[in-house]
Structure 1
Amino acid sequence: MTLTLLFSAPDRLWPAYSAALPHALAEAGIDAQITRETDNPETVDYIIYAPNETLTDFTPFTRAKAVLSLWAGVERIVSNPTLTQPLCRMVDDGLALGMRDYVVGHVMRHHLGMDAHILGLGGVWDQVAPPLARDRTVAVLGLGALGQFCATALAEFGFKTFGWSRSPKEIAGITCAHGADGLRDVLRHAEIVVTLLPNTPETENTLNAQSLALLPKGAVIINPGRGALIDDDALLAALDTGQIGHATLDVFRAEPLPATHPYWSHPHVTVTPHIAAETRPETASHVIADNIRRSETGAPLFHEVDKKAGY
């Protein structure tokens, strides 16, 4: 039987996937036709999805067996009341490797104090060397697939690595904590904090005036997770007092970040334009094809979202 797959995503994504998806499907032994039209929703077997204005009502897709997201984050779709089909988030090597590279790069930048040398020492011959990685404490907030991958990479570099999640986790080489008390304990130790939590009502403003005050003075924040994890006003205030030494931010509540936002001009903020990790069509297409193959053979879907939890 030939399956019908709806590719419902922004137009800019289609050129790359138009070649990668058929190739991955063929390798997986899946006979499928890919459409971008929604004229016959009752004939669609699977929806390959990234947030767009065209598809907001999933009700007509009565035959669809799953919605397969191209994004790791699903906050823009998970609460859609018309979504009754199983929803799977994107977890793939390309996404994880990109996030690891970003996190490790910026942690090393702040650990080594590279900004001082890049910006110029102004003639001051300061020979104070940075500590070894084993003497620097880094915390990763959020221990999902990406958080675990990044925390493990940091531990392999030798950093004293803490991890925090809402529920208990055990990860080799990582000192794991959970719950409100665990978060407070982790923050009291962390000289560099990486935020990789999902965006849910429970995680909004995880870093606020109270939690930022727990950090050692001069701590660094790196946020490639979600903009809503940080109370922006509280972070700016903490930066102004020196409680937070620097913030490297890749995600924001409004994107693109408005030109008038104070992050752009703050001397202790680095803005990167949501580039920490991106879904790579070549690898993502194989994840999509593999999940369709599993579904068609009666196996459980990979990376299915718990809609009540929001991730």
Structure 2
Amino acid sequence: MSLVIIRKNAPTAPWQQAFASQAPDLVVHAWPETGPLEEVDYVLCWAPGAGEIARYPNLKAVFSLGAGVDHLLSDDTIPLHLPIVRMVDKSITDGMVQYVVMAVLNHHRRIDEMRANQAAKIWQKLDLSNPQIGIMGMGGLGKASARALAAMGYRVRGWNRSGRPVEGLDVFGGAGGLKSFLAETDILISLLPHTEETIGILNRETFAALRQGAYVINAGRGEQLVEEDLLRALRSGQICGAMLDVFCKEPLAADHPFWGEERVTVTPHIASWVDPAAGTAHVLRAIEAIKHCEIPEGQVDRTAGY
């Protein structure tokens, strides 16, 4: 049994070490080394490139190195029968919750303004009225973030495509509920999955529907944000600022206007991460499930897109 790790822009050594420790009998290759293609049973990857997965004729499953799977679902050469399994790991959730809480606190507690006041030697107590927070995306990351913020005393509401309820949280659903959800939102957080329906959802109509001077946090997918619409909303004052962790093209180009926009905080796609040891354990559990003809945790519904 063999597995190929494809991680073109980051080290694979921590993952190889984790597999060697937890599954010493598993043959693990780091791309571009693959061994005989017909002997590869599993691929663990991030952005392998169109057509790469189809090169392995006897695959039993392909695993994403992250919670996102759009880098695989966009490749129509991957056989439809092949299970795609996203990463499920507590470190992903913990990292995202920490990022969201940090972004909310940084804005709500007006840290940037206080640092500017410090530089100017200004002693000024700023208004810290409690904002209404709205989270788009009520999957595992969205629910965990909502609970963490609510535990800190924030007023939190959620929105998802289906309107599926979440215990202890007001959830709005579908296009019909979106306008009502946005109308009372001061801080908008997007943790949506990447689907055809969510591409471009953070646009001028969405920004216009928010409360005047709202703040935007996007840690979902870069393609969900219409970047020029955000810049216009910032210039008009409809949006007061944003913290962005994901972008349409990464890394962000040196001449991108976000670099010079003081109301935008850019972070380099670091909101959450996967611990290699825990991620390896997840992959090995999934392999065992597949060997026993069971559905592994994290298997993607390819129709829904997540």
TM-score between the two structures when normalised by the length of structure 2:
0.92
Partner secondary structure for residue 120 of structure 1: helix
Could you tell me whether the CA contact under 8 Å between 1:193 and 1:221 is conserved in 2?
A: yes
Partner secondary structure for residue 261 of structure 2: coil
Could you tell me whether the CA contact under 8 Å between 1:155 and 1:174 is conserved in 2?
A: no
Identity %: 35
Alignment partner of 1:82 out of 77, 82, 91? 77
State the match for 2:5 in structure 1: 7
- Cα separation, 2, equivalents of 1:268 and 1:178: 30
Alignment partner of 2:159 out of 139, 157, 164? 164
State the match for 2:198 in structure 1: 203
- Cα separation, 1, equivalents of 2:146 and 2:286: 27
Could you tell me whether the CA contact under 8 Å between 2:117 and 2:123 is conserved in 1?
A: no
Partner secondary structure for residue 259 of structure 1: coil
Could you tell me whether the CA contact under 8 Å between 2:3 and 2:27 is conserved in 1?
A: yes
Report the alpha carbon displacement of residue 129 of structure 1 after superposing the two structures with TM: 4.3
Could you tell me whether the CA contact under 8 Å between 2:2 and 2:26 is conserved in 1?
A: yes
Report the alpha carbon displacement of residue 180 of structure 1 after superposing the two structures with TM: 0.6
Report the alpha carbon displacement of residue 224 of structure 1 after superposing the two structures with TM: 1.2
- Cα separation, 2, equivalents of 1:254 and 1:57: 21
Per-residue CA distance 1:247-266 (angstroms, 9 max, x = gap): 11111111111111111111
Residue 301 of structure 2 is aligned to residue 306 of structure 1: yes
TM-score between the two structures when normalised by the length of structure 1:
0.91
Residue 99 of structure 2 is aligned to residue 102 of structure 1: yes
Residue 39 of structure 2 is aligned to residue 32 of structure 1: no
- Cα separation, 2, equivalents of 1:216 and 1:302: 39
Amino acid at match of 1:275: I
Per-residue CA distance 1:110-146 (angstroms, 9 max, x = gap): 1111211112164554334412xxx421111111221
Per-residue CA distance 1:40-65 (angstroms, 9 max, x = gap): 22222221122235x73433433221
Amino acid at match of 2:209: L
- Cα separation, 2, equivalents of 1:174 and 1:239: 30
- Cα separation, 2, equivalents of 1:111 and 1:189: 16
Could you tell me whether the CA contact under 8 Å between 2:285 and 2:296 is conserved in 1?
A: no
Q: Which sections of structure 2, spanning at least 5 residues, go unmatched?
A: none
State the match for 1:241 in structure 2: 236
Moved more, 36-45 or 283-292: 36-45
Report the alpha carbon displacement of residue 172 of structure 1 after superposing the two structures with TM: 2.2
- Number of aligned residues: 301
Partner secondary structure for residue 77 of structure 1: helix
Could you tell me whether the CA contact under 8 Å between 2:46 and 2:71 is conserved in 1?
A: no
State the match for 1:277 in structure 2: 272
Partner secondary structure for residue 80 of structure 1: coil
Alignment partner of 1:16 out of 14, 17, 42? 14
State the match for 1:212 in structure 2: 207
State the match for 1:268 in structure 2: 263
- Cα separation, 1, equivalents of 2:162 and 2:36: 42
State the match for 2:116 in structure 1: 119
Report the alpha carbon displacement of residue 230 of structure 1 after superposing the two structures with TM: 1.2
